[in-house]
Structure 1
């Protein structure tokens, strides 16, 4: 933290559209709290590019090829023995940006808690919303840092709390989610009291009920990471899960032309460029014939994007096909993941019939027919991880990397590094600024 990039600092602008912390700490107006909530939504998406590209690279879902700077390949792939140290190029946004969003969420909570311009129900709604997004952002950091643990207590930027081990971090994130859910349950009914983007309102999450369902969806994801299988099923039931509804249903990050920002995952199809996110060859190699997800998500270029780093040529013939425009929204949680969570939790609880039914919902949507394999727990988990690989490909979370790690499968049998001659990473390094801060605290 003793650097120009203080991970827990929040910008303190003075213009009326972005009020300073001092101006909102006591009796903030509705307009001021609205601005803070809008700022939270904006910060909530700032992780998107780096987490998608870096976590996706580490799970070999994709390559982010960039001829302008070979470090996108050499560092992120761990080429020729490179390690994920604190000097790794370009990884800090997986840490900084979530904490900026967490600090923004805390400012929203403090502002709405210390004003008389909102009813009790409205305060609960705003605080519950902020805690829901806060928990999501903590999980992003935890997915990158993993065994390093993370800081949860960052309310006082001059006296942040200690790093907590992963299991305890998960426990604290669950607490924040549960607090948010309790507050949303005390927020009445109807619409959220402040303006949200169409990523929420246009997808059914502009209401109190919708936000509670989102909160429980995140709780279901967390429960799977904690191996709380019944807790996962309980959370799925309370979420926006639908066994028969659209697998695409879910909230989204929105984008637009300046002064907004464009979708950072959009690349023009067939563009003659040397910078591109491409589908990893192993993903293409392992597909099932006729899988509709392949046709929908992967676009075959007329010529590959090629770069050479450390003497190793890398070429991608398929690029992302999901976004039509540079202003297309990006879903950050979808019903398809909830169906897969239900499949996994049921399989782990030996509820074979329910697990297979959920698997078949995914398979039939992909056009590859019902599951006909073995129904042992291990066989079902293998199948579920395979389906997650294609259903959740390159979503802004790095699911493949996360999934292989939590099942202790981060190895050469599951992560193909034969082409890029890279390294299989388990986690990212704790930022040097954090190490410096803790050393400083010992001496002050």
Structure 2
């Protein structure tokens, strides 16, 4: 945790000012180029709070590149073929018996987007909440709305390291980054995240249903009221409750979410991207580009698809250019299909969508033995994909297998690694096909070495 940034936000803030009684006496400028925690912790201006909020949205998308490239490779939704460095294949795919260690390749010294970036977002949320609570420029309802938004993002971000290290556990007490709390179990972490999200929901409720008091990026264009942000909060809570196996909790959360059984399956909040000085969409690749580095569709996804599935046609481009190929210990890996979801390199990337919520509804009903409701939700997804209603067996196992299959295509390659987590949730990791790359499927990752070094440093 020692890598957590002390200086937060998207832009420079002027923190020096003249003292009225003595024009030569200046406030101490801790950092002339960045806002320090101290400069916003006591009666921050509305503009400073806005900078912190925008900074939180920036931090919120920090996981996308690493999680999309790595976790989707773990679940064999994609391969990240990299002609410059074979370790993206050999190490991430577990070839030749490779297993994760505390300095595993591709996650940076502290875990990159799978570990450090989420904690940076969590700390940014904490600073935003504290600054808003101490700002006289904000009303009580403004403070509640900002706290609710920050806790929603905080809950979402906690789920990333929790699912990365899984049963190895995460830290949930990071209020003091120089003295973080102990690691807690996966189950305890999920319970803590539920508390954070529920508090965020209560804060947004207390703020009323009006417009959110500050500017949000276009990723929240359809969710810029307190009431709409509550729906996002409950959508995230529904995903969390599925991991907690609280199936009634999933359905309850969905009732307060933006789930719409008759609505646009792609509706939902997104991470925005743009031209410099912003960052480009990291998942966009020029169609048929002659490159040796690209995220490609795993061959099993094409092989196992239902004939006529519109999700394959809409999301996956069969290259007319030569395949993307790399050489590995297990032979040549070849990508004949690439991602075609993004219209351009500035397209936003959704982080939770209506389609996932409908599938969560189906999963909850199936686990509760409510067959009719489960099939109805499944059929919404199947009909939208152009493959017709479900006609298979209606035992619980059969329905779960069908739902996991639909999730594989509906949520393909989204920045979360759904298939890897889904297979682990249902003890089906051994069903992920590794025959194309001769690798293994990892269950979880150890804590980064620097995280344990920090404990040793504190102990001394």
Q: TM-score, normalised by structure 2?
A: 0.93
- Is the 1:10–1:100 Cα contact (8 Å) retained in structure 2? no
Task: Find the aligned partners of 1:311 and 1:127 in 2 and give their Cα distance.
Answer: 50
Counterparts of 1:44-443 in structure 2 under 5 Å?
Answer: 44-91=60-107, 92-93=111-112, 94-201=114-221, 204-302=222-320, 303-310=322-329, 312-411=331-430, 414-442=431-459
Kindly tell me: are residues 241 and 12 of structure 1, through their superposed partners in 2, closer, same or farther at Cα, counting changes over 3 Å?
A: closer
SS in 2 for 1:380: helix
Offset of residue 12 of structure 1: 5.4
Offset of residue 441 of structure 1: 3.0
Offset of residue 190 of structure 1: 1.7
- Picking from 16, 26, 40, the partner of 2:13 is 16
Task: Find the aligned partners of 2:102 and 2:266 in 1 and give their Cα distance.
Answer: 37
Larger radius of gyration: 2
Deviates more, 1:215-224 or 1:82-91: 82-91
Task: Find the aligned partners of 2:3 and 2:175 in 1 and give their Cα distance.
Answer: 12
Kindly tell me: are residues 34 and 319 of structure 1, through their superposed partners in 2, closer, same or farther at Cα, counting changes over 3 Å?
A: same
SS in 2 for 1:315: strand
Task: Find the aligned partners of 1:134 and 1:306 in 2 and give their Cα distance.
Answer: 39
Task: Find the aligned partners of 1:100 and 1:268 in 2 and give their Cα distance.
Answer: 31
SS in 2 for 1:336: helix
Task: Find the aligned partners of 1:295 and 1:7 in 2 and give their Cα distance.
Answer: 43
Offset of residue 311 of structure 1: 5.2
1:36-82 per-residue CA deviation (whole Å, 9 max, x = no partner) reads 00000011001101001111000000000000111111111111111
Task: Find the aligned partners of 1:90 and 1:331 in 2 and give their Cα distance.
Answer: 24
SS in 1 for 2:323: strand
Kindly tell me: are residues 198 and 124 of structure 1, through their superposed partners in 2, closer, same or farther at Cα, counting changes over 3 Å?
A: same
Q: TM-score, normalised by structure 1?
A: 0.96
Task: Find the aligned partners of 1:43 and 1:116 in 2 and give their Cα distance.
Answer: 26
Kindly tell me: are residues 266 and 23 of structure 1, through their superposed partners in 2, closer, same or farther at Cα, counting changes over 3 Å?
A: same
Task: Find the aligned partners of 2:151 and 2:49 in 1 and give their Cα distance.
Answer: 15
Deviates more, 1:342-351 or 1:83-92: 83-92
Task: Find the aligned partners of 2:154 and 2:54 in 1 and give their Cα distance.
Answer: 14
1:165-189 per-residue CA deviation (whole Å, 9 max, x = no partner) reads 0010001000000000000000122
SS in 2 for 1:313: strand
1:4-37 per-residue CA deviation (whole Å, 9 max, x = no partner) reads xx34333358931752211101000000000000
- For structure 1, the residue ranges without an aligned partner over 5 or more in a row are none
CA RMSD of aligned residues (A): 1.2
Task: Find the aligned partners of 1:358 and 1:26 in 2 and give their Cα distance.
Answer: 49
SS in 2 for 1:372: coil
Task: Find the aligned partners of 1:30 and 1:73 in 2 and give their Cα distance.
Answer: 47
Task: Find the aligned partners of 1:262 and 1:110 in 2 and give their Cα distance.
Answer: 31
- Is the 1:49–1:265 Cα contact (8 Å) retained in structure 2? yes
Kindly tell me: are residues 308 and 403 of structure 1, through their superposed partners in 2, closer, same or farther at Cα, counting changes over 3 Å?
A: same
**2:26 aligned partner:** none
**2:27 aligned partner:** none
Task: Find the aligned partners of 2:116 and 2:256 in 1 and give their Cα distance.
Answer: 31
- Is the 1:10–1:104 Cα contact (8 Å) retained in structure 2? no
Offset of residue 364 of structure 1: 0.1
**2:22 aligned partner:** none
- Is the 1:278–1:318 Cα contact (8 Å) retained in structure 2? yes
- Is the 1:7–1:99 Cα contact (8 Å) retained in structure 2? no
